[in-house]
Structure 1
Amino acid sequence: MSTNRTQSTARSTAALRRVVGAPFRGQTYRNLLYLALAFPLGLGYFVGLVTGAALGVGLLITLVGLPVLLVTLSATTFAASLEAWLATRLGGVEASVPAILRESTLEGGLVLPGDGFLDAVRHLLTASSTWTSVVLVLSKFAFGIVSFVALVTSVAVTATMVAAPLVYDSATVNLGLTGEAGIDAYSVGPWVVDTLPEALVVAAGGLVLVVLALNLLNLLAQMQARYTAALLRVDAEVTE
């Protein structure tokens, strides 16, 4: 019983130390960069994939449509490869690139897998990771929006709270949906902060919120990195 209690206490202490230590870990800031890149990359992926697919389908009645679709699909695997690199370097989660790229070489120029161009196209179309790359690239747009909202909201709220002692007596700042309109003072919801002690309390709450926000943003980044690795792992064992 005593041993179990000691182990439970040790685990609780380690978990608390990990939560409180989030601002002091380098991985936290790599995660933040990972989240910050998600929206512009996701938007670019989405526009490129949708435009290429629409153009290719529209031109299928000509000889141009199929090559456009193949180029779009190939570009999608390159985008997924970039995502695998980001998940590994910034997210700290080992992710493999799509099979078509693992099987290609760059020595002396790009050498595609298989025996000739048609065989390489067959490899591209039959590899599971090619199609999970499409899923990854499309879902990156949604993740990018979530990341953007989470980052902007976290920075805006915590910065405003931490800066309370500097701006409470000289700025019009309202936090929360319950603040009264027209109040020419620093307020948090219905609470008007007009003294330094009150502003210090708000700043202290802001520091606590910074720690909580960083942990939530770390979790969000790790979820995306692991999701990326899982999608691209589907046929890794087959080619190893």
Structure 2
Amino acid sequence: MAMEYGQGYGLDVPEKHRLPAGLRAPFEARHWKELGYVLLSLPISILLFTYAVTMVSLGIGLLVTFVGIPVLAAGLAGCRGFGAMERARARGLLDLEVSEPEPLRMRKRGFMAWMGAVLKSGTSWRSFLYGVLHLPWAVFSFVVAVNFWAIGWTLLTYPLWFWLFPLYGGQGGVQLYGDETHHIYLDNPFEIGVTALVGLLFTLATPWIVRALTMVDRLLVHGLLGPSRLATRVVELESDRGIVVDTAAADLRRIERDLHDGAQARLVALAMDLGLAKEKLAEDPQAAARMVDSAHGEVKTALQELRDLARGIHPAVLTDRGLDAALSAVASRCTVPVEVQVDLAGRPVPAIEGIAYFTVSELLQNISKHSRATWAGVDVWRVENRLMLQVVDNGVGGADTSVGSGLAGLTERLDAVDGILVVDSPVGGPTRITAELPWRTV
């Protein structure tokens, strides 16, 4: 497993702007998309609320007859359709990526099975709840957004159109106060300037107010129209199970390849050499002795290869003495000096202990091959219910989980047991890789 060093992150460099974000916000596409989302929310929420309440109420009211069940199922199915539309709208206007909820689970085919699946689906009822809750929020956000936007641009552009009042309205400007004896108009240059300044403040504040309003919409869409936590967790576990199976299969193939290309081939050659030595034993004892001596060297090499293979499967020192001794042993085989510090009061379960060992082992192996470092350090400690691992080196840096397959594969292995891998490796170094594993005891 190889970790690529000395390569860039491949991250997008943020575009530099001359104007600060506060002044750019009213003219950015993001603001207009969010404003469009708020404006569309009112008519859509009215339609959805009317449909959801009417169909579900009608269905519940008709439950005394068989007609109520298909009506209720049709109403909930329509709410699911509205939910799909709302996810698409949020994706297009709010840049909110929400995964599709779990599909209907039907053990049998047919209309009756479909009705039962719709009625038992949590997604159906969450979509209905979204239709009920979204209307009052859509009314509130529509009123706030439209008023702030209209007031801001009206006042900001007041110097451009105030002349309409004396020309066509018979008054000096916008009237702030008036009774039978007093009238106050915004008609002199100072008042017009202050009006435009107030409009500028409203205009600059509107994008942030609209963004705050759409944050609630994001929460509603994500929480009610996305997959449930249980369904998400099931998908994660299924993915992790696939990763574990693939990793185990890859390890088995590696062991088979190492046995076939290494120890097995050497033992076959050893058997042939001993057969030849047996034939020459009577006619040429000295040659037979030399062949036996060569075969003895092959036996030692084969034994060393088998020991290395066994260590790669699960080192005996890890089982007998724990992480401290095992990591010290693997650090001694690294090509750069490695400082190992293990601060653990106890031992986790063998599975977590093994993953921690192989994580550090692979990271140190990659340091030897790619980092061009002159020093490395390994720290292991426990924080509450998490086992923390940190490997540091002073090499060239540039390690990235998206480049090559080493760190990406290691990330998948850790993720399969609810672990996390964090890479901090700027180009030029140093590199700091931190791994978190769940602390589990027998």
Listed as ranges, the matches of 1:1-240 within 5 Å are 17-100=20-103, 113-117=106-110, 118-171=112-165, 173-174=174-175, 179-182=176-179, 192-231=185-224, 232-234=226-228, 235-237=230-232, 238=234
Q: Do the aligned residues in 1 keep the contact of 2:152 with 2:201 (CA within 8 Å)?
A: no
Structure 1 partner of 2:263: none
SS of the residue 1:43 aligns to: helix
Secondary structure of 1:50's partner? helix
3-state SS of paired residue (1:96): coil
* 2:36 partner letter: L
Alignment check: 8 A CA contact 1:93 1:226 kept: no
- Deviation, 1:28, is 1.2
Q: 1:59 to 1:121 in 2, by over 3 A?
A: closer
- The residue that corresponds to 1:107 in the other structure is none
Residue identity in the other structure for 1:91 = L
1:229: how far off? 1.1
- Measure how far apart 1:225 and its partner are: 1.9
Q: CA deviation at 1:30?
A: 0.9
RMSD after superposition: 2.9
Q: Distance in 2 between matches of 1:18 and 1:130?
A: 40
For residue 228 of structure 1, report the CA deviation from its aligned partner. Answer: 0.7
1:212-235 residue CA offsets vs partner (Å, 9 max, x unmatched): 011110221133123211222315
Instruction: Between 57-66 and 163-172, report the one with greater CA deviation.
Output: 163-172
Q: Does the 8 Å CA contact 1:23/1:214 hold for their aligned counterparts?
A: yes
Matches of 2:181 and 2:231 in 1, distance apart?
60
Counterpart of 1:11 in structure 2 is none
Q: Which runs of 5+ in 2 are unaligned?
A: 1-16, 166-172, 237-442
Between Structure 1 and Structure 2, the one with more strand by share is: 2
Q: Partner residue of 2:383? A: none
Aligned letter for 2:120? T
The answer to whether the 8 A contact 1:162-1:207 is kept is yes
Instruction: Decide which structure has greater helix share.
Output: 1
* 1:185 Cα offset (Å): 11
Q: Which moved more, 1:139-148 or 1:197-206?
A: 197-206
SS at match of 1:99: coil
1:84–1:95 CA contact under 8 A, matched in 2: yes
> How far did residue 165 of structure 1 move?
1.2
Give the CA deviation at 1:113: 5.0
| Counterpart AA for 1:17 | P
The TM-score with structure 1 as length reference comes to 0.75
Structure 1 residue 114, shift from structure 2 partner: 4.2
Distance 1:78-1:19 versus aligned 2 partners, 3 A rule: same
In structure 2, distance between residues paired with 1:233 and 1:40 = 26
Cα distance, 1:186–1:236 mapped onto 2, change above 3 Å: farther
Provide the residue aligned with 1:9 in structure 2. none
What is the SS of the residue equivalent to 1:60?
coil
Gaps of 5+ in 1: 1-13, 104-111
**Does the 8 Å CA contact 2:145/2:209 hold for their aligned counterparts?**
no
Distance 1:55 1:194, change over 3 A: same
| Residue identity matched to 2:156 | V
Identity level (%): 25
**2:177 alignment partner AA:** E
- Secondary structure of the residue that 1:61 maps to in structure 2? coil
Aligned residues: 208
